[in-house]
Structure 1
């Protein structure tokens, strides 16, 4: 079951849901009554400091069968593909082919996460990390929560079924979901699944300000969805994993963590269909900067500068006159990590594969390859639909990202990526 959420910047509104099997499970009045309906326990999940301003304060009250405190001791989970050791520094333009899906051994979502790159410090809660997930097995009687930050999950191949404390979400390619810090969830798959994860340590994601665009455009609040409550009352052996300070720990308990009968608050998981994005584009002389494609942003303390932006490049009409229509050649004070969900990205004719990725870090030059430049420089300019059948995205950050050992040594790393610009010719003439 899935229900609608009117997603407003700052989550100024409060939302509520209760399992239809237990009408009246939400207390009428005080959040922690002396006795909750149905003999439930009240438990708060805080997503901001208690003293955060009201406009940005986030928390949710759970009314659950047993509280989260009922579990065994934490133990180190051992080695995993998750890391925050971004030790490999490389200013070269980088590109990876499609990351391999597991074919034989059973690999679930937790086991299939591998960190590609990132920046910052978990101790001071500043920075981000980018991961990929590659799995072919469901999480059975196990769950995960992130103590370090928020996950923005971008499926590229295969549907994922996510159970959370708030309810269930089905997320398919062309959709994204956000699981915020501390929220427990479990992932089931059908066959194989591959996708990307943007993790932020600082703040939470929010809708970008629209500025001169006005009241309408980009991602609309009404198009974001959050689960409805559905409890799981099973007394079974469960393993809960957490990522804490970049390392995995786990503990055991004798009941399902998804035993929430009702909840209310403004700190929730949510999903969004990228095909709902309202593209803003130039209709006159030149095209705008890629910031007009921002779906969600995680702001830094510096005004107008993001720890991370999630930017999407969907199918759209191109009608500009007398200009070079593909993305322009560029050197950026931000780091740009790109992924391709499907199709063919308009600035790259070959090599950029669905399920692969590229990274152009701070001030590393990038732009259309040779064949794209030649075609775009000579084509007849007329209104055309571009990126049909394509969905590309970008994780952009003000931080300079380093690579993990896994990403730097991957057989999918294209050592000849720089050659895609070799054919660019000198056209200069004095006349």
Structure 2
């Protein structure tokens, strides 16, 4: 069971596991029911405008000060944080990777995080990092929270269960999950080894984009975002909490589970979304819309219309426009595009870009359809066509995405990616018709 959730727009929910555990009325009680402690989790400044103010009241068995002890430094060498500069010696270029392999040694969600790019500055709360996660075991007694940013998780292989202090969310490939900054959770695998993508957003919280002239419908709809009901774990056995804070990791030992919230109410909560419920909008006569028309979530920056991060998808859809080149045009862009493929085939890259893979086109670096894709799209009969069994996405940011050493030196990196455009030939011959032979 879950509630509909509107990211970034101040909904208020209430949920309890035990009857009467959530206070009602105009005043919080001096002594909450069941001997619980009241605690507020704030995800925004106290005086933020109502529409962006995020906070939830948690009624828990122990306050969070009892879920931390003496911290010790903890090493996760493959999880990097911006700014991460000069981490490698690879020259600038358009880049693409095969899927990162799931390791044989025991690896959970946190230890299996592999940072591909970083952008901006986590300490300045701007920018993002793009990661691949690979995991083959549960976080049984380990727990984690990220003080640097919220996490947008995009599973590609294997379902994952996020057991959070505010409830349980199960996410399969084709769905996404957003875990707010500071939320404590652990991750369990639903069906064997798992792999996916993560956007670590250092900036403003993700929200739904304004639809502008599109109007009240289409794109992502609020009713399709779901947040969990309350759930708690009363476990009096040794546990561990790992914290990411300003790019470093710290751990503390506990004698009990920190997932002990019996009831909560508020609007600062984890949520999931089924990408199949996205209603795409496109051209129906001619021309090709910009990829912004496929934005599911956006994290705004201080500059209007320029996102800190956009989460954009390319779902199944009908292609119907006439006299139009249907794949994305060749372009150079002020935004930096980290792209992944969840399933199927991407229409502008029919070879080499496979599910679980990654491409990176940094700001102002030219990119577009490969030579076979261009040839096919230029000569195909333009009739209504269903683009099916596909789901690609982008983490797109206003900042340059700096490559990590892991990404630069990975065996999965395709040294020959640039060759996908080698077959594009000169068609100019001085005549209006050009050379399309």
- Give the shorter-chain TM-score range: over 0.9
CA distance in 1, matches of 2:91, 2:327: 26
Which of 12, 15, 23 does residue 13 from structure 2 map onto?
15
| 1:122 matched residue in structure 2 | 122
Which of 395-404 and 86-95 deviates more?
Answer: 86-95
Mapping of residues 376-415 of structure 1, within 5 Å: 376-386=377-387, 388-415=388-415
Count of residues in Structure 1 that have an aligned counterpart in Structure 2: 425
Report the Cα offset of residue 12 of structure 1: 2.3
Tell me the secondary structure at the aligned position of residue 377 of structure 1: helix
Mapping of residues 131-146 of structure 1, within 5 Å: 131-146=131-146
Which of 268-277 and 225-234 deviates more?
Answer: 225-234
Shift in alpha-carbon separation, 1:309–1:90, aligned structure 2, 3 A? farther
- Contact 1:86 1:401 (C-alpha < 8 Å) held by counterparts: no
Which of 78, 83, 91 does residue 81 from structure 1 map onto?
78
Report the Cα offset of residue 11 of structure 1: 2.7
Tell me the secondary structure at the aligned position of residue 69 of structure 1: helix
CA displacement, residues 341-375 of structure 1 (integer Å, 9 cap, x when unaligned): 01111001211111110000000000000011111
Say whether 1:29 aligns with 2:25: yes
Report the Cα offset of residue 80 of structure 1: 2.8
Mapping of residues 84-99 of structure 1, within 5 Å: 84=81, 85-87=84-86, 88=88, 90-99=91-100
- Contact 1:155 1:195 (C-alpha < 8 Å) held by counterparts: yes
CA distance in 1, matches of 2:250, 2:102: 25
Shift in alpha-carbon separation, 1:31–1:126, aligned structure 2, 3 A? farther
| 2:347 matched residue in structure 1 | 346
Report the Cα offset of residue 137 of structure 1: 0.4
Report the Cα offset of residue 251 of structure 1: 0.8
| 2:320 matched residue in structure 1 | 319
Tell me the secondary structure at the aligned position of residue 283 of structure 2: coil
- Contact 2:76 2:111 (C-alpha < 8 Å) held by counterparts: no
- Contact 1:229 1:262 (C-alpha < 8 Å) held by counterparts: yes
| 1:284 matched residue in structure 2 | 285
- Contact 2:97 2:358 (C-alpha < 8 Å) held by counterparts: yes
CA distance in 2, matches of 1:31, 1:122: 38
Report the Cα offset of residue 14 of structure 1: 0.7
Shift in alpha-carbon separation, 1:306–1:90, aligned structure 2, 3 A? farther
| 1:198 matched residue in structure 2 | 199
Say whether 1:3 aligns with 2:9: no
CA distance in 2, matches of 1:145, 1:66: 17
Which of 41, 62, 66 does residue 66 from structure 1 map onto?
62
Tell me the secondary structure at the aligned position of residue 65 of structure 2: coil
- Contact 2:146 2:182 (C-alpha < 8 Å) held by counterparts: yes
Report the Cα offset of residue 50 of structure 1: 1.0
Report the Cα offset of residue 90 of structure 1: 4.5
- Contact 1:86 1:119 (C-alpha < 8 Å) held by counterparts: no
Report the Cα offset of residue 313 of structure 1: 0.4
CA distance in 1, matches of 2:266, 2:408: 42
CA displacement, residues 131-171 of structure 1 (integer Å, 9 cap, x when unaligned): 11001000011111100000000000001011001110110
Mapping of residues 250-329 of structure 1, within 5 Å: 250-329=251-330
| 1:367 matched residue in structure 2 | 368
- Give RMSD over aligned pairs: 1.2
CA displacement, residues 66-111 of structure 1 (integer Å, 9 cap, x when unaligned): 1110131111112431112243474300001111012x31101111
Report the Cα offset of residue 31 of structure 1: 6.3
Could you tell me the TM-score, scaled by structure 2's length?
A: 0.95
CA distance in 1, matches of 2:75, 2:329: 45
| 2:435 matched residue in structure 1 | none
| 1:53 matched residue in structure 2 | 49
CA distance in 1, matches of 2:26, 2:179: 27
Shift in alpha-carbon separation, 1:207–1:40, aligned structure 2, 3 A? same
Could you tell me the TM-score, scaled by structure 1's length?
A: 0.97
CA distance in 2, matches of 1:218, 1:184: 30
CA displacement, residues 387-406 of structure 1 (integer Å, 9 cap, x when unaligned): x1111001100001111111
Shift in alpha-carbon separation, 1:136–1:316, aligned structure 2, 3 A? same
| 2:434 matched residue in structure 1 | none
Report the Cα offset of residue 30 of structure 1: 5.1
